[in-house]
Structure 1
Amino acid sequence: MKDERDREISSKEVLERTGISRATLNNYIKMGILPRPSVRIPEAGATGTKRIGYFPRWVLDRIDEVRRLKNDGLSIEGIVDILGSAEKNRGEQYAAEERLTDYSLSEKNVKTPSVRRNDVERHGKNTARIDLDSIGAPSYFINYKYEIEWINEAAERGIFSRRVSAIRDEEERNIFRLILDWEFRSNLTNWDELLDVHVALLKEHHLIDDAEELYDGMSRDELELLKTSCRKAGYSGGESTIRRVPVRLDGRTGTDDYSLYVSFFREGILFIYEHREELLDGIMEYLHNRGAVIQELLSKKMPTLIPFAVLVADLQESCRICAELPPEEYFEMIHEMRDILENVFKKYYGIHGKHAGDGMVYYFLKQRDSNYIVNALSCALEVKERMREFSRRWKDRKRWLNELYLNIGINEGEEYFGVLRASSSIEFTALGETINYAARISYLARFGSILVTKNLVNKLKNEDRRMFVMGLRKSHPEGEVFVENIFSRVIDLTGPDDPLKAKFMDVATVPVIELAGQREEGPAALR
């Protein structure tokens, strides 16, 4: 019995080690992601409760798996499907066809061909040669504002009959706006069937709540068409991350039959039209390599005007530390620091951006299923805590007095966000002043402090604002005091003889505040 209990972990430990809230833990139990705990009298030494729940230790790995699947773009319902099946069939491997769900429109009575094993085997060939450029089939990628972020020439010619990539305003690239355009409808006789496919797939993944919210400025007729399509949308009984939909396009020059592959990612949705006479060898294996696919898509996406928070972090006195350490140790320290913090940024959905030197830049994009500002602030606080632990380890190792501080500046804005492509990698960046302000403010921060612009704080909802402790440190005859909920201009935080004063002139009048902590009674930070 003792050996069995040694392999268990209390609910309190689960919460502490994973960072999830008790409400989330209870939801995972209700949905079958986690087993029901064994409730009993606490082990010797535990205090504060008469009875406590105990789980098998593998639930820690299960919660990490849930987080990974969320990052890969799965909805919670899709995760339940995967992990619930995995729990019932432990040790079994899913075949590719079990993860591919066919789809048919409920009112069209279209018979969807089943996926046979030889189909999967056929699709498994020549995987290494497949990428978006070599596919050649009409393809496009939309974000969760329904805007096309990438499209190839085949889709522009064969589906939309226009240069969608030349449209500068991303709102004008809205997929529903494009389908309901009079020119599109005049070129495609059965445009309404293609509309129904898009509406049904998105609605099934709970990505459409109200037809009126699909895009701004729609006419009354367009609204009625979208409402009708929403009412017709059926439900196929699952939320697989990959769909195969039979699609027929009746154009001016004739009829073409396709298998439309639809792959859902956290960043958006990829559509690939496989013509019945031009089969795509290896397409299924390619789509299941989700990390490589989304990396390629992100490298090709068109610049998008989007709200985001940006976090810039710089290692304090990095030049002095570099001079003190042998080169191999300095690089080891920097690599170790980045490896530790990378997991923190991933946890809060941060996207790594371009930054020169020893610092880091991460973007937190506004998305439907996450609070990007709360994520940025919560991430900064966890980074600060991890740096304290990291600094202690290096002090013990080197027997030195150096403290390793990562000074952080955070700002929010709406700018064009895109990628800079290198030969072997991609770098995300944003145009405009938002990142420049964050970078300047990070230089002003000292001893691991986190400075946040008033602009960002003003975007927080009241209940989110109450989650965090913010203020400024003020001099007092009896010592320094922390005064909550006050801001200061950057220029007022620099001394008259500060040699770096000129560096802050472009942000001199920007009001900032220090993020000092998070209130324990507040809601869960990760959203």
Structure 2
Amino acid sequence: MCPTVFGQRLNVLSSKEVLERTGISRATLNNYIGSGLLPRPEVLPPGPEHGAAPRIGYFPDDTVERIEEIQRLKQQGWSISRIAAHLAGGAQAQTAAPAPQAPAQVRAAQTAAAPVQPVAARPAVLPAPSPAAAPVTESAARRIPAPILTPVAVLVSTLQDAGELWLQLPAGEYFELVNEVWLALDGIFVRHGGRHGKHPGEGMVCHFLPQPAVSHLWNALVAAHQTREAMRQISSRWQARKGWDFELSMNTGVDEGQEWLGALRLSDPLELTVVGGAADHAAQLSRSAREGAIWITRNLVGKLSAQERGRITFGVPRADRRVLSSFSRLADLAALIEGSPAVPAALADLPVTELLDLSTVPPAPHSPVRPEA
């Protein structure tokens, strides 16, 4: 509902309306604001429909379209910094259309009201430590490899309720926690041959490419399983340290496919990324999962060897029970999970399941049965 102040109707959207129309979480909305992708909300006096709310934040009425464009570019593999530059460039190219301003009466009312503290922007998860990138020379640009179409497994893991963590922890402890998670998961991914990619928010992306005598699909699943176990240990340590019952978890999505691998940024060393359906699917699974769940596609399960499939337990909930070795439409599975955002229509019918358990110990070979003499 658009607010009215002194009889004037304002063409803006409340944060609640933005969340309902786009299906994103409040943590994602805060991240977009902190990253400069969205303007900070205009804080206006509450209307009668808001009850005792002390203040309400409103966004320009084109915010929903802007978020849809951000999500579309993210699905195409764009980094947050690249999207921000693109949106800023588009805004400058237009004839200086300023952000909607509240009427003079509203601004006067705001001035007279008690001062409002600005909303603190929550930082995104720190990237992996790396040497400073050197300027790209002409010769380095010529060495950029052409993109290749290759089999790949894509793992996306996102820290659940990062916005709530930022509100509950002092800044120093927040960064300490984030880096502890990063270091633990980084070791797991490297052990299993994973290569880091860009994540648009609070989490990690890892690509697993084929290796001699090693299944890259199995490596991705083992990495996801060990990530969940590592997060349980980290969560227990922080619960003991803080005396809280907050469960730290990384929600993970994994898919595979024949995808394009290439460089999207001219840096040294080159930053490689995967663009294609598997990356989009894994990202959406990670956004939809909750409580540290690992969601994988039917396509990935079907590509495992018979021995590998025998070492995993997977299934989906049905009514009051869980049906093993079965799959569900992504939209139906997400609808059962409290707090899971809306699934885009393009991915609603994707067949998925939850990885419940995995055995890292291969089964013992069967001994041949000797005929009796």
How far 1:304 moved relative to its partner?
1.0
1:58 matched to which residue of 2?
Answer: none
2:327 matched to which residue of 1?
Answer: 487
1:431 matched to which residue of 2?
Answer: 275
Counterparts of 2:293 and 2:352, CA distance in 1: 12
Matching residue's letter, 1:513 = T
Q: State whether residues 451 and 515 of structure 1, in contact with CA within 8 Å, keep that contact through their aligned partners in structure 2.
A: yes
User: Does the alignment pair 1:323 with 2:163?
Assistant: no
Q: State whether residues 156 and 282 of structure 2, in contact with CA within 8 Å, keep that contact through their aligned partners in structure 1.
A: yes
Counterparts of 1:523 and 1:372, CA distance in 2: 19
User: Does the alignment pair 1:514 with 2:354?
Assistant: yes
Matching residue's letter, 2:315 = G
Q: State whether residues 490 and 504 of structure 1, in contact with CA within 8 Å, keep that contact through their aligned partners in structure 2.
A: no
1:346 matched to which residue of 2?
Answer: 190
1:26-65 matches, cutoff 5 A: none
Q: State whether residues 466 and 522 of structure 1, in contact with CA within 8 Å, keep that contact through their aligned partners in structure 2.
A: no
User: Does the alignment pair 1:475 with 2:315?
Assistant: no
Let me know the Cα RMSD of the aligned residues. Answer: 2.4
Find the residue that maps to 2:344 and give its secondary structure.
helix
How far 1:343 moved relative to its partner?
0.8
Counterparts of 2:170 and 2:241, CA distance in 1: 14
Matching residue's letter, 1:323 = L
* Equivalences, count: 224
* CA spacing shift, 1:354–1:386, aligned 2, 3 Å: same
Q: State whether residues 345 and 351 of structure 1, in contact with CA within 8 Å, keep that contact through their aligned partners in structure 2.
A: yes
1:255-404 matches, cutoff 5 A: 300-404=144-248
Counterparts of 1:431 and 1:337, CA distance in 2: 26
Counterparts of 2:144 and 2:330, CA distance in 1: 38
How far 1:485 moved relative to its partner?
0.3
How far 1:399 moved relative to its partner?
1.3
Q: State whether residues 287 and 340 of structure 2, in contact with CA within 8 Å, keep that contact through their aligned partners in structure 1.
A: no
* CA spacing shift, 1:388–1:488, aligned 2, 3 Å: same
Matching residue's letter, 1:458 = G
How far 1:520 moved relative to its partner?
6.6
* CA spacing shift, 1:323–1:310, aligned 2, 3 Å: same
Q: State whether residues 290 and 337 of structure 2, in contact with CA within 8 Å, keep that contact through their aligned partners in structure 1.
A: no
Q: Deviations over 1:190-209 (max 9, x none)?
A: xxxxxxxxxxxxxxxxxxxx
1:409 matched to which residue of 2?
Answer: 253
Counterparts of 1:347 and 1:497, CA distance in 2: 32
How far 1:474 moved relative to its partner?
3.2
Matching residue's letter, 1:434 = A
Find the residue that maps to 1:300 and give its secondary structure.
coil
Matching residue's letter, 2:207 = Y
Matching residue's letter, 2:358 = Q
* CA spacing shift, 1:436–1:474, aligned 2, 3 Å: same
Matching residue's letter, 1:493 = L
How far 1:378 moved relative to its partner?
0.9
Matching residue's letter, 1:343 = G
How far 1:498 moved relative to its partner?
7.4
Higher relative contact order (CA 8 A, sep 6+): 2
1:162-201 matches, cutoff 5 A: none
Counterparts of 1:520 and 1:382, CA distance in 2: 10
Find the residue that maps to 1:458 and give its secondary structure.
helix
Q: State whether residues 295 and 354 of structure 2, in contact with CA within 8 Å, keep that contact through their aligned partners in structure 1.
A: yes
* CA spacing shift, 1:339–1:497, aligned 2, 3 Å: closer
Which TM-score applies when normalising by structure 1?
Answer: 0.40
Counterparts of 2:347 and 2:239, CA distance in 1: 35
1:25 matched to which residue of 2?
Answer: none
Match for residue 264 of structure 2 among 403, 420, 437 = 420
Which blocks of at least 5 consecutive residues in structure 1 are unaligned?
Answer: 1-295
* CA spacing shift, 1:512–1:423, aligned 2, 3 Å: same
Counterparts of 1:497 and 1:365, CA distance in 2: 31
* CA spacing shift, 1:447–1:419, aligned 2, 3 Å: same
* CA spacing shift, 1:456–1:331, aligned 2, 3 Å: same
Find the residue that maps to 1:351 and give its secondary structure.
strand
* CA spacing shift, 1:460–1:389, aligned 2, 3 Å: same
Task: Indicate the percent of aligned positions where both proteins have the same amino acid.
Answer: 38
Which TM-score applies when normalising by structure 2?
Answer: 0.56
Max radius of gyration: which structure? 1
Counterparts of 1:311 and 1:377, CA distance in 2: 9
Q: State whether residues 471 and 482 of structure 1, in contact with CA within 8 Å, keep that contact through their aligned partners in structure 2.
A: yes
Counterparts of 1:512 and 1:493, CA distance in 2: 8
